[in-house]
Amino acid sequence: IAVILRPEADRDEIVARLRRIPGIVNFSLAWRAERIVDDIFDVTLAAIGERRARSFAVRVKRGDKSFPLTSMQLAALVGAAVV
């Protein structure tokens, strides 16, 4: 099930409400980006905002296998952009 949110949606409130719904065991937030590496970087940096962690992982699953980079290559580039 995909729920498309408006840009101004209160994500923290939505996450809190989803956690209280019986039957929902797991969910993930996701953001859309154009198939342009710089756009993927911009969306990633906007999604994490000011949050920082001592360690993190970037996991990539390409829906479009014709994208010119492999999942591992894209994950490495996004990880470098986050640092």
pLDDT at position 38: 95
Q: Which residue has the higher pLDDT, 1 or 14?
A: 14
**pTM, to two decimals:** 0.75
Residues in the chain: 83
**Termini Cα distance of the chain:** 32
**Given a cut of 90, is residue 23 above it in pLDDT?**
yes
